[in-house]
Amino acid sequence: MRTPLLAANWKMHHTVGEAERYLRHLVELLDPTLNLEIVVFPAFTSLHVAARILEGSPVKFGAQNAHPEKKGAFTGEVSMAQVADLGASYVICGHSERRKLFGETDEFVGAKVQAAWSFGLVPILCVGETLEERKGGQAWPVVERQLASALPQGTLGGPLAIAYEPVWAIGTGFPAHPGDAQDMAVRIRRWLLSRFGPVGEEVRIQYGGSVTPENARDFLTLPDVDGALVGGASLDPDKFWAIAQAAVS
């Protein structure tokens, strides 16, 4: 059985003080008996706060992004080595906002996944189609291309999670239909098994796209969805905890 993975992607929200209050409250809310893994992704400016407050807690933290090169003249970037040095466990690779707004290619995202493994980080590889691609019958071809570019034939380089995030559902308040999420999770699982064999069964597949406390149960109880990558609703620790409870209820 795969342990559900619930991730809070804060994006460009929360100052250091706000992050500290959030994390302290989240730790207070925790029920350590729940069969659930929780990861928070603060802004870079608050990663040190997460490292301090979450030490000894079952809650893990990660970076929303990192550059695949170990070091170099990349002004404004942060490396996987620097993220790992803070004690982070996870890194998000290829979020649709990074692909769309910052021009990250499938190949560049793949380089990030490989770099994450080399520094002991668990990548959450984000894949998903636009509304136009879905309407054009290209949802699976797009996702398959993104998977193949990031995960070459051979063996997985370490633990991995995949977040299926239909681009048209992110931050819009209009999530995908649970049946669409389940169908895509099944396709991704079959692809993983065909490419990597039994180890593909260990990869957790999340849904991401306007998950809220009100609809979380619809997605988190799907047989082939192993958690969620939560954006806007994760900015409030009480709402995020409500979603976490839906994952195990």
Residue range 187-219, pLDDT digits in tens: 999 999 999 999 999 999 999 988 999 999 999
Residue bearing tokens 């990558």: 229
The better pLDDT of the pair 176, 8 is held by 8
DSSP string, 160-225: -EEEE--GGGTTTS-PPPHHHHHHHHHHHHHHHHHHHGGGGGG-EEEE-SS--TTTHHHHHTSTT-
pLDDT, one tens digit per residue, over 93-121 is 999 999 999 999 999 999 999 999 999 99
Give catalytic residues, as residue numbers.
95, 165
Domain ranges of the chain: 5-248
Q: What is the mean pLDDT of the segment spanning 140-161?
A: 94
Q: What are phi and psi of 68, to 5 degrees?
A: -75, -20
Q: Domain spanning 5-248: which CATH class is it, in words?
A: alpha beta
Which tens digits make up the pLDDT trace of 162-174? 999 999 888 777 7
Q: Are 116 and 122 a contacting pair, CB within 8 Å?
A: yes
CA distance 191 to 225: 15
Q: What is the mean pLDDT of residues 67-93?
A: 97
**167 with 129: CB under 8 angstroms?**
yes
The DSSP call for residue 2 is P
Q: What is the pLDDT of residues 22-33, one digit of tens each?
A: 999 999 999 988
From start to end of the chain, where are the E strands?
A: 5-9, 37-41, 60-63, 90-93, 122-127, 161-164, 204-207, 227-230
Place of tokens 């706000």: 18
User: Beta-carbon neighbour count of residue 58 at 10 Å?
Assistant: 13
* 68 vs 114: CA distance, rounded Å: 8
pLDDT of residue 169: 83
Residues 150-177, mean pLDDT to the nearest whole number: 88
pLDDT of residue 173: 77
Query: What percent of the chain clears pLDDT 90, i.e. is strictly above it?
Result: 88
